[in-house]
Amino acid sequence: MSEYRKPLPPINHLSRPFWEATKQGRLILPRCNHCGTFHTYFEPWCSTCGEEGVHFEELSGRGKIWTNCRFHRSYFSGMEESLPYNVAMVELDEGPRLMTNIVGLEHGTLDEMPIGMEVEAVFESVTDEVTLVKFRPVRK
């Protein structure tokens, strides 16, 4: 396997549980101990209620495309080989929104991944350390 050249997340003590879970095919996110808001950042403080303290909780991995775009220009070394590539923000059934790529499309064009489309998580191992969470259309 050739070397993976695309951007990788810097894994630290706060984000390590998330990236360990994706390696096992599980999507977890930090959740506020006080108000229950899911976070899409790895800090101990809650931006909703202002309290300190989070725990990780597993999510269904199901959601809908909230918005999308398709890159025709590369801003990161390693991404140029994938141009054009799509990016979507997926709103999970539990509420939080994640940036991701939509896979399993015929051409990868925006009309194949409209806003509102139902999607589910797939786990793509890209290095020994990192498994990314991508989404594919739910097959009916």
Q: Under the rule (CB under 5 A), what is the footprint of Zn ion? A: 32, 34-35, 37, 46, 48-49
As a whole number of angstroms, the distance between CA 27 and CA 94 comes to: 12
Q: Does the footprint of another protein cover residue 31 (CB under 8 A)? A: no
- Asked if residues 130 and 105 have their Cβ atoms less than 8 Å apart, the reply is no
46 binds, among Zn ion, another protein, none (CB under 5 to 8 A by kind): Zn ion
Rg (Cα) of the chain, in Å, rounded? 16
Q: What is the DSSP letter of 14?
A: T
76 binds, among another protein, Zn ion, none (CB under 5 to 8 A by kind): another protein
Helix (H) or strand (E) holding 54: strand 54-58
As a whole number of angstroms, the distance between CA 93 and CA 140 comes to: 17
User: Nearest-5° angle of CA 30, CA 129, CA 68?
Assistant: 60
139 binds, among another protein, Zn ion, none (CB under 5 to 8 A by kind): none
Residues 28, 79, 105, 117: which binds another protein (CB under 8 A)? 79
Q: Does the footprint of another protein cover residue 134 (CB under 8 A)? A: yes
- What residues numbered 7-26 form the site for another protein, per CB under 8 A? 7-10, 15, 18
As a whole number of angstroms, the distance between CA 130 and CA 140 comes to: 30
33 binds, among Zn ion, another protein, none (CB under 5 to 8 A by kind): none
Give the interface with another protein as residue ranges (CB under 8 A): 6-10, 15, 18, 40-43, 47, 66-76, 79, 82, 84-85, 87, 89, 97-101, 110, 114-116, 130, 132, 134
